């Protein structure tokens, strides 16, 4: 599968299409679909007054579960163990580092919180607790130090808390299309605001 030719004009509609076609898929044993989970995460970010970039990060943090859509991996690749790194890689041509780093670190942030915040473990869903062991368990002291040295570690922790909160069965949220202008703003700001004023060739 060849990667689709995405650019600043097409990336947001492309993401919308993934949410539309694949959003109803199950989210790893949670009582919400993939789309509900990511839309709830974005809503919790918004509710806390997060800026555009962090709302975008919350909304897109699990996009790495859909790597086959980007042609980055085999269409038959159902192994999502590294969906954090894969998601960051997919978004990197269009989104700023704060977004891609929050996506890349959202699994690490869970391991960090489990090691550093005694109250966090109680917030984990059954499925999240199960995957924790597959993801390496709570961080060691050395891993904590490395994680805290990441430039966007504090932002990644915030996104992780919204991620964990976004597993509420039946919760009403905005739709993906409501976030399209916000995502387009983040992309355009990052790529130099060239798109909207550009003339067609």
Q: Following DSSP, what letter does each residue of 31-94 receive, concatenated?
A: SSBHHHHHHHHHHHHHHTT--HHHHHHHHHTTGGGGGGGGTSS-TT----TTHHHHHHHHHTTT
- 163, 167, 176, 183: which one binds Fe ion (CB under 5 A): 163
Q: Is residue 62 a contact point for Fe ion (CB under 5 A)? A: yes
Q: Is residue 46 a contact point for Fe ion (CB under 5 A)? A: no
> Of 98 and 109, which CB lies nearer to Fe ion in the complex structure?
109
Looking up tokens 């130099």, which residue turns up? Answer: 192
CB of 58 to Fe ion, least distance (A): 9
Give the Cα separation of 178 and 167 in Å (integer). 20
> Of 62 and 69, which CB lies nearer to Fe ion in the complex structure?
62
Q: What residues have CB less than 8 Å from 195, skipping those under 6 apart? A: 8, 9, 184, 187, 188
> Of 27 and 153, which CB lies nearer to Fe ion in the complex structure?
27
Give the Cα separation of 122 and 130 in Å (integer). 13
Of 87-95, 112-120, 144-152, 157-165, the segment contacting Fe ion by CB under 5 A is 157-165
Residue 102, beta-bridge partner list? none
CB of 20 to Fe ion, least distance (A): 19
Q: Is residue 84 a contact point for Fe ion (CB under 5 A)? A: no
- What's the gap between Cα 168 and its chain centre? 17
> Of 139 and 165, which CB lies nearer to Fe ion in the complex structure?
165
Residue number with the smallest Cβ distance to Fe ion: 163
# binding residues, Fe ion (CB under 5 A): 2
- Name the site residues for Fe ion (rule: CB under 5 A): 62, 163
């Amino acid at each position: 599968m060849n990667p689709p030719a995405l650019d600043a004009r097409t990336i947001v509609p492309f993401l919308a299409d993934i949410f539309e076609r694949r959003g109803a898929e199950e989210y790893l044993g949670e009582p919400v679909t993939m789309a509900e989970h990511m839309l709830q995460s974005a809503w919790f970010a918004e509710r806390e007054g997060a800026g555009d970039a962090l709302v975008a990060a919350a909304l897109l943090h699990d996009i790495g579960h859909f790597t086959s859509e980007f042609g980055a991996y085999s269409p038959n690749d159902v192994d999502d163990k590294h969906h954090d790194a894969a998601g960051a890689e997919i978004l990197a041509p269009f989104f700023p580092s704060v977004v891609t780093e929050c996506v890349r670190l959202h699994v690490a942030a869970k391991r960090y919180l489990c090691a550093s915040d005694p109250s966090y473990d109680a917030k984990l869903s059954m499925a999240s607790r199960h995957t924790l062991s597959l993801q390496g368990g709570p961080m060691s002291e050395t891993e904590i130090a490395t994680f805290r040295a990441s430039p966007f570690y504090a932002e990644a922790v915030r996104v992780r808390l919204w991620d964990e909160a976004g597993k509420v069965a039946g919760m009403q949220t905005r739709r993906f299309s409501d976030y399209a202008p916000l995502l387009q703003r983040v992309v355009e700001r990052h790529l130099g605001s060239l798109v909207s004023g550009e003339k067609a060739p």
